Amino acid sequence: MLGTVFDNYHYAVVIILMMTGLYTVFASGNLIKKLVGLSVFQTSVFLMYITIGKVMDAQPPILEKAKDYALNVSGNYTAAAGESGGGGYQFVTDIAYSNPLPHVLILTAIVVGVATLAIGLALVVRIREVYGTIEEDEISAIDYGYNLEGTSR
Protein backbone atom coordinates (compact mmCIF):
# COMPACT_ATOMS: atom_id res chain seq x y z
CA MET A 1 0.00 0.00 0.00
CA LEU A 2 2.59 2.51 1.17
CA GLY A 3 4.90 1.29 -1.58
CA THR A 4 2.31 2.20 -4.21
CA VAL A 5 2.06 5.68 -2.76
CA PHE A 6 5.84 6.15 -2.83
CA ASP A 7 6.10 4.76 -6.36
CA ASN A 8 3.49 7.21 -7.55
CA TYR A 9 4.50 10.04 -5.25
CA HIS A 10 3.85 12.62 -7.99
CA TYR A 11 0.17 11.68 -8.00
CA ALA A 12 0.14 11.90 -4.21
CA VAL A 13 1.53 15.43 -4.44
CA VAL A 14 -1.09 16.35 -7.02
CA ILE A 15 -3.94 14.93 -4.95
CA ILE A 16 -2.77 16.59 -1.73
CA LEU A 17 -2.39 19.97 -3.45
CA MET A 18 -5.75 19.60 -5.18
CA MET A 19 -7.61 18.80 -2.00
CA THR A 20 -5.82 21.55 -0.07
CA GLY A 21 -6.86 24.05 -2.70
CA LEU A 22 -10.43 22.84 -2.86
CA TYR A 23 -10.73 22.84 0.94
CA THR A 24 -9.42 26.41 1.09
CA VAL A 25 -11.97 27.51 -1.48
CA PHE A 26 -14.86 26.03 0.46
CA ALA A 27 -13.74 26.58 4.03
CA SER A 28 -12.56 30.19 4.06
CA GLY A 29 -14.92 33.11 4.03
CA ASN A 30 -12.31 35.61 2.88
CA LEU A 31 -12.55 36.12 -0.86
CA ILE A 32 -8.79 36.58 -1.30
CA LYS A 33 -8.14 33.31 0.52
CA LYS A 34 -10.70 31.65 -1.72
CA LEU A 35 -8.83 32.87 -4.79
CA VAL A 36 -5.54 31.63 -3.31
CA GLY A 37 -7.18 28.24 -2.81
CA LEU A 38 -8.42 28.32 -6.39
CA SER A 39 -4.89 29.00 -7.64
CA VAL A 40 -3.46 26.12 -5.61
CA PHE A 41 -6.20 23.88 -7.00
CA GLN A 42 -5.38 24.89 -10.56
CA THR A 43 -1.64 24.51 -9.97
CA SER A 44 -2.15 20.91 -8.90
CA VAL A 45 -3.64 20.20 -12.32
CA PHE A 46 -0.67 21.87 -14.02
CA LEU A 47 1.61 19.50 -12.08
CA MET A 48 -0.51 16.53 -13.07
CA TYR A 49 -0.14 17.34 -16.77
CA ILE A 50 3.57 17.98 -16.44
CA THR A 51 4.21 14.67 -14.68
CA ILE A 52 2.32 12.63 -17.26
CA GLY A 53 4.54 14.04 -20.00
CA LYS A 54 7.72 12.91 -18.26
CA VAL A 55 9.14 9.57 -19.35
CA MET A 56 11.56 7.79 -17.01
CA ASP A 57 15.24 8.26 -18.01
CA ALA A 58 14.15 10.23 -21.03
CA GLN A 59 15.73 13.32 -22.44
CA PRO A 60 14.01 16.53 -23.51
CA PRO A 61 12.26 16.11 -26.85
CA ILE A 62 14.91 17.69 -29.07
CA LEU A 63 15.79 15.48 -32.01
CA GLU A 64 19.46 14.55 -32.27
CA LYS A 65 20.14 14.14 -35.95
CA ALA A 66 23.23 12.01 -35.64
CA LYS A 67 21.61 9.34 -33.51
CA ASP A 68 18.22 9.20 -35.18
CA TYR A 69 17.27 7.14 -38.10
CA ALA A 70 13.99 6.48 -39.79
CA LEU A 71 12.46 3.45 -41.39
CA ASN A 72 10.74 3.98 -44.70
CA VAL A 73 7.77 1.97 -45.93
CA SER A 74 9.83 -0.66 -47.70
CA GLY A 75 11.78 -1.33 -44.52
CA ASN A 76 15.09 0.31 -45.44
CA TYR A 77 16.83 2.62 -43.06
CA THR A 78 17.23 6.12 -44.35
CA ALA A 79 18.98 9.14 -43.04
CA ALA A 80 15.93 11.37 -43.43
CA ALA A 81 15.28 11.58 -39.72
CA GLY A 82 14.41 14.91 -38.25
CA GLU A 83 13.36 16.29 -41.60
CA SER A 84 9.97 14.80 -42.24
CA GLY A 85 7.67 13.27 -39.71
CA GLY A 86 4.65 12.21 -41.71
CA GLY A 87 4.36 10.52 -45.06
CA GLY A 88 5.90 7.11 -45.49
CA TYR A 89 8.35 7.36 -42.59
CA GLN A 90 7.95 5.70 -39.29
CA PHE A 91 10.42 6.87 -36.70
CA VAL A 92 12.41 4.24 -34.98
CA THR A 93 14.81 5.52 -32.39
CA ASP A 94 16.58 4.12 -29.37
CA ILE A 95 16.50 7.44 -27.54
CA ALA A 96 13.63 7.93 -25.11
CA TYR A 97 12.10 11.37 -25.35
CA SER A 98 9.71 13.02 -22.92
CA ASN A 99 6.30 13.84 -24.34
CA PRO A 100 6.20 17.58 -24.97
CA LEU A 101 2.49 17.81 -25.72
CA PRO A 102 1.16 17.94 -22.12
CA HIS A 103 3.69 20.64 -21.32
CA VAL A 104 2.50 22.74 -24.24
CA LEU A 105 -1.11 22.19 -23.24
CA ILE A 106 -0.44 23.32 -19.74
CA LEU A 107 1.17 26.54 -20.94
CA THR A 108 -2.29 27.42 -22.24
CA ALA A 109 -3.89 26.41 -18.97
CA ILE A 110 -1.41 28.54 -17.00
CA VAL A 111 -2.38 31.56 -19.09
CA VAL A 112 -6.02 30.80 -18.45
CA GLY A 113 -5.30 30.53 -14.73
CA VAL A 114 -3.57 33.90 -14.70
CA ALA A 115 -6.51 35.51 -16.50
CA THR A 116 -9.01 33.99 -14.08
CA LEU A 117 -7.00 35.14 -11.08
CA ALA A 118 -6.67 38.65 -12.51
CA ILE A 119 -10.42 38.95 -13.08
CA GLY A 120 -11.07 37.49 -9.63
CA LEU A 121 -8.78 39.98 -7.90
CA ALA A 122 -10.29 42.87 -9.87
CA LEU A 123 -13.74 41.74 -8.74
CA VAL A 124 -12.59 41.56 -5.12
CA VAL A 125 -11.24 45.13 -5.36
CA ARG A 126 -14.62 46.29 -6.66
CA ILE A 127 -16.45 44.33 -3.97
CA ARG A 128 -14.30 45.95 -1.30
CA GLU A 129 -15.09 49.41 -2.76
CA VAL A 130 -18.82 48.79 -2.80
CA TYR A 131 -19.44 46.64 0.26
CA GLY A 132 -16.51 47.71 2.42
CA THR A 133 -15.66 44.10 3.25
CA ILE A 134 -14.30 40.99 1.58
CA GLU A 135 -15.76 38.46 4.04
CA GLU A 136 -18.37 36.39 2.28
CA ASP A 137 -20.77 36.04 5.21
CA GLU A 138 -20.76 39.79 5.81
CA ILE A 139 -21.54 40.40 2.14
CA SER A 140 -24.41 37.92 2.37
CA ALA A 141 -25.74 39.68 5.45
CA ILE A 142 -25.61 43.09 3.71
CA ASP A 143 -27.34 41.65 0.64
CA TYR A 144 -29.99 39.99 2.78
CA GLY A 145 -30.90 43.31 4.34
CA TYR A 146 -30.86 44.92 0.90
CA ASN A 147 -33.21 42.26 -0.48
CA LEU A 148 -35.73 42.94 2.29
CA GLU A 149 -35.78 46.72 1.77
CA GLY A 150 -39.12 47.98 0.55
CA THR A 151 -41.00 44.73 1.14
CA SER A 152 -43.95 44.88 3.47
CA ARG A 153 -42.98 41.62 5.16
Partner 1 sequence: MDILPAYPAWLIEHGAALAVVLPLLTGAVCAVLRSERAAWIVTLIVTGACAVVSFGVLLTIFAGEVQIYEMGGWEPPYGIAYVIDGLNAPVLFLISAIAFIGTLYGIPSVTAEVEPGKRAPFYGAFLLCVAGLLGMVVTGDAFNVFVFLEVSSISTYVLVAMGASRDRRALAAACRYLILGSIGATLFVVGVGCLYMETGTLNMLDMSRILSEIGGGSRVALVGFGFIVIGLGLKLAMFPLHLWLPGAYAHAPSFVTVFLASTATKAALYLLLRFMFVVFDPSFEYDTAIITYVITTVAVAGMLLASLQAVYQTDARRTLAYSSIAQVGYMLLGIGMATAAGLSAGYLHLINHALIKGALFLALGAFWYRYGIMRVLDFRGLGQIMPWTMGAFTLGGLSLIGVPFTAGFVSKYNLAMAAAANGWWWAVGVIMAASVLAIIYMGRMLLVAYFQPPPEVDGEAVAKNEAPLLMLVPMWVLAGLSILIGINADWIVHAADGAAMVLTAGGGVRP
By the criterion CB under 8 A, which residues form the site for partner 1? 22, 25, 31, 34-35, 38, 41-42, 45, 48-49, 52, 86, 101-102, 105, 108-109, 112, 115-116, 119-120, 123-124, 126-127, 130-131, 139-140, 143, 146-147, 151
Distance, CA of 52 to CA of 58 (rounded, Å): 13
Report the residue number, 41 or 70, with the smaller CB distance to partner 1.
41
Q: Are strands 77-78 and 69-71 parallel, antiparallel or unpaired?
A: antiparallel
Alpha carbon distances (Å) from 44 to 27, 35, 38, 93, 113: 18, 14, 10, 33, 12
Report the residue number, 38 or 70, with the smaller CB distance to partner 1.
38
> Residue 81: exposed, middle, or buried by beta-carbon count in 10 A (0-12, 13-18, 19+)?
buried
Report the residue number, 77 or 138, with the smaller CB distance to partner 1.
138
User: In whole angstroms, how close is the CB of 66 to partner 1 at the nearest point?
Assistant: 26
User: In whole angstroms, how close is the CB of 9 to partner 1 at the nearest point?
Assistant: 17
User: In whole angstroms, how close is the CB of 81 to partner 1 at the nearest point?
Assistant: 18
Report the residue number, 63 or 139, with the smaller CB distance to partner 1.
139
User: In whole angstroms, how close is the CB of 64 to partner 1 at the nearest point?
Assistant: 22
- β-partners of residue 90 are 71
